[in-house]
């Protein structure tokens, strides 16, 4: 059974509004309403993969104002505002499926954000060319939501959002040693953390986890040393 979250409530709201639109829609708009209803009901019945679910949600929010236009006219754009919680939930769910590889230090836009921004910008450009004000305003609302989310992330996410305890160990050739170390979150929001060792003979567990705001997580660093050497348990590179 699906748990009651902001995402499920937002989906129920969107489905209810779409059903109401069936009573007043024109034949052309009714086809769009039925298509959006089918997508949302399928997603509620059988949760698709996170990537496919994100596509369904963004598509529904982009075209929902057109389907709702027969109900309240241009104000249909405002009806999708409560449904933005569904996009928020979908983005968080998709983020948990991502795998990271170290490239550089610092904050930068992900591939998903770039793709989402480019897609919305393309739809906005088409809506300007055909001069569809409802579609323009709908995309503008989604853009505004994403801008608020990014502003919140930059405010709550520090450039150095993680801290780690550092200790020294010496291991003998052929011996295996396991050391515990603690990762502490300094950001004011949950962080998806991925740890990657700089050496093939160092293994970190867990290497992929969600760290709550201002909380700590204990990790284990197993060392299978090929040579006797002194190392720091800070070898794992903090990626996120």
Kindly report the CATH number assigned to the domain that includes residue 190: 2.60.40.10
In-domain check, residue 149: yes
**Structural domain boundaries, residue 234:** 162-238
* Residue 1 in domain: no
Establish if 48 belongs to a structural domain.
Answer: yes
123: closest CA among 137, 112, 109, 110? 137
The answer to whether residues 135 and 166 belong to one domain is no
Asked if residue 108 and residue 175 are part of one domain, the reply reads no
Mean pLDDT of the chain, nearest integer: 77
Model pLDDT, residue 125: 92
**Residue 203: its pLDDT value, please?**
75
**In terms of domains, do 41 and 132 share one?**
yes
| 130 within some domain | yes
Asked whether 190 and 224 are in contact (CB, 8 A), the reply is no
Specify whether 141 is located in the same domain as 24: yes
The total number of structural domains that make up the chain: 2
Q: Which of 122, 156, 190 is the last residue of a domain?
A: 156
209 within 8 A of 99, measured Cβ to Cβ:
no
Residues 150 and 166 in one domain: no
Euclidean distance between CA atoms 156 and 150, whole angstroms: 10
101, 123, 156 — which closes off a domain?
Answer: 156
Query: Which residue ranges in the chain fall short of pLDDT 70?
Result: 1-4, 99-107, 156, 158-159, 167-175, 220, 224-240
Question: In the listed set 156, 176, 197, which residue is the last one of a domain according to the structure?
Answer: 156
Quick one: 113 and 191 in the same domain?
no
Is there a domain that residue 107 lies in? Answer: yes
The pLDDT assigned to 192 comes to 75
106-163 residue pLDDT tens:
667 777 888 888 999 999 999 999 999 989 999 999 999 999 988 887 776 766 777 7
| Count of Cβ atoms closer than 10 Å to residue 157 Cβ | 14
Both 47 and 89 in a single domain? yes
60, part of any domain: yes
Q: What pTM, to 2 d.p., does this model score?
A: 0.72
């Amino acid at each position: 059974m699906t748990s009651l979250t902001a995402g499920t409530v937002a989906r129920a709201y969107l489905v209810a509004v779409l059903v109401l639109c069936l009573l007043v829609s024109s034949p052309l708009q009714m086809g769009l309403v039925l298509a959006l209803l089918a997508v949302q009901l399928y997603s509620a019945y059988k949760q698709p993969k996170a990537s496919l679910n994100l596509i369904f949600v963004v598509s529904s929010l982009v075209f929902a104002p057109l389907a709702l236009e027969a109900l309240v006219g241009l104000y249909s754009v405002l009806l999708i505002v409560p449904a933005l919680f569904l996009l928020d939930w979908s983005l968080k769910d998709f983020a948990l499926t991502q795998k990271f590889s170290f490239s550089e230090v610092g904050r930068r836009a992900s591939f998903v954000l770039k793709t989402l921004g480019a897609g919305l910008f393309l739809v906005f450009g088409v809506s300007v060319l055909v001069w569809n004000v409802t579609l323009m305003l709908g995309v503008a609302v989604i853009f505004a939501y994403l801008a608020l989310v990014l502003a919140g992330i930059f405010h709550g996410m520090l450039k150095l959002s993680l801290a780690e305890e550092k200790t020294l160990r010496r291991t003998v050739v052929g011996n295996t040693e396991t050391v515990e170390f603690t990762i502490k979150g300094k950001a004011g929001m949950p962080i998806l953390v991925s740890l990657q060792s700089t050496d093939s003979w160092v293994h970190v567990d867990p290497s992929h986890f969600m760290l709550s705001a201002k909380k700590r997580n204990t990790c284990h660093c197993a060392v299978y040393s090929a040579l006797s050497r002194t190392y720091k348990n800070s070898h794992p590179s903090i990626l996120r």
